[in-house]
Amino acid sequence: MDFPYKIYTLGDEKYLDGKVGWRCPSNIAIVKYWGKYGIQMPRNASFSFTLSNAHTDTYITYSKQPNGKVSLDFMFEGKENQAFADKITKFLHSISEYIPIVKDFHFKIESSNSFPHSSGIASSASSMGALALCICSIEAELFGISHDEELRQKASYLARLGSGSASRSLMPYFSTWGEHPKINGSSNLYATRTEGLHSIFQTFHDDILIVSAKEKSVSSTAGHALMENNVYAPARYAQANQRVEDLLEIMKTDNVDAFGKIAEDEAMTLHALMMCSDPSYILIEPGTLQMIKEIRSFRDRTKLPIYFTLDAGPNIHLLYPASVKGDAEILINDYLLPFTENNVVIKDKISNGPKRLL
Ligand code: PMV
């Protein structure tokens, strides 16, 4: 077993109950995780910004129960949601060997997202992050564990089992996940906080321009699996590790242009890998390419440091430092909005990570 933490088990002594709550944001990868093996282990190191406005709030009310199996009610935005309840039941099962208390309690889980459902923003990172933090807090309360850093790291480990990229949502500002020979403390099991980067990057915005809010035609799970037979996979994993190393050096300085080049190259590489998978598939839309051209031409004209990245979908993430916020608004309003679906833009920025609500 590769669980690097103490396993806490409860006796049958007393009746226990309580309530905890966490807010966890989403994150945007600058160097992408695309390809995995074993139990949610990444094929390469990845690096992300922890966001702020796109977040999930989760509260868990727990009460001791004797039947020794996972037991929960799940409410999403005030309504019962069986599909999510089944997913969470499966997740709690999968972590029960590490966190045995998940079978000692009945959980009433209430969750809500700050962004509209089907807005084109994936909620798995923020929702798995918030859930993992709540479970770790319950355990910490029951056993008097007070080490905040360990709680974060353990929650990152657990969130990873629910969704790989969720492991990175737990850290303030910048997060690296995946073993890398040049990064001290890096691990495939959990993400680590990346410190010592130039302060300009802490001012970064990520405005998400929605090209389509439709569900993806190929899930991330299927996309990761297709990397196994992609002829470019070995070169890709080496490239990603090199880009993480280069990026961390660049980000020690205020060289936003060098940062932006890697961010855009990564977005294009991710989607190129999809297009040359077998079978091939395409997640970007014509509007995505139109926006990419507009962003590049605006940058050529103005020389302003405004860049984009893409997640596994068609929506553009516009990345820029706070110093050019007004110019980014001009770019969005005058050049990009026509290519969005219903003018939807979700304004986000980098943040110091999850907050305890209760
Ligand atoms: O966490 P998953 O399995 O949904 O994979 C997501 C991978 C990307 O979002 C495309 C890239 C990343 O590193 O977040």
Tell me if 32 CB under 6 Å of ligand 1. Answer: yes
Give the pLDDT mean for 19-26.
Answer: 98
Domain extent at residue 143: 12-194
Q: What is the pLDDT of residue 1?
A: 66
Is residue 65 domain-shared with residue 173, that is, in the same domain? yes
Same domain, 124 and 44: yes
Domain annotation covers residue 3: no
Distance CA 272, CA 120 (A): 20
Residue where one domain finishes, among candidates 174, 194, 214 = 194
Mean pLDDT of the chain: 96
Counting residues of the chain whose pLDDT is more than 90, the rounded percentage is 91
DSSP state of 336: I
- Do 220 and 76 share a domain, yes or no? no
Q: What does the angle CA 237 – CA 281 – CA 240 come to, to the nearest 5 degrees?
A: 15
Residue 27 beta carbon below 6 angstroms from any ligand 1 atom? no
In angstroms, the CA 31 to CA 120 distance is 20
- pLDDT score of 118 more than 80: no
Residue 334 CB contacts under 8 Å (≥ 6 apart), including other chains: none
How many domains does the chain fold into? 2
Band (pLDDT 50/70/90 cuts) for residue 266 is: very high
35 C-beta closer than 6 A to ligand 1: no
Domain end among 168, 194, 220:
194
Question: Taking the C-alpha atoms of 196, 197, 203 and 208 in order, what is their torsion angle to the nearest 10 degrees?
Answer: -120
Residue 159 has pLDDT above 70, yes or no: yes
CA of 124 to the centre of ligand 1 (A): 9
Instruction: Read off the pLDDT of residues 163-187 as tens digits, 9 standing for 90 and up.
Output: 999 999 999 999 999 999 999 999 9
Q: Are residues 81 and 156 in the same domain?
A: yes
Candidate from 87, 124, 218, 220 with most ligand 1 atoms within 8 A of CB, to mutate = 220
Clarify whether residues 261 and 146 are in a common domain: no
* Boundary-marking domain end, from 143, 171, 194: 194
* Structural contact between residues 356 and 137, judged by C-beta atoms closer than 8 angstroms: yes
Residue 132 falls inside a structural domain: yes
> Does the pLDDT value for residue 13 go beyond 70?
no
CATH code for the domain in which residue 311 is found: 3.30.70.890
Report which ligand 1 atom has the smallest distance to the Cα of 221: 3
Contacts of 303 (CB under 8 A, 6+ apart): none
Q: Is residue 356 part of a domain?
A: no
Ligand 1 pocket member 175 (CB < 6 A): no
Our CA angle for 57, 93, 225, nearest 5°, is: 85
Whose structure tokens read 């007070």? 146
Higher pLDDT, 90 or 118: 90
Residues 90 and 37 in one domain: yes
Same domain assignment for residues 48 and 155: yes
Q: Are residues 29 and 148 in the same domain?
A: yes
CATH number for 101: 3.30.230.10
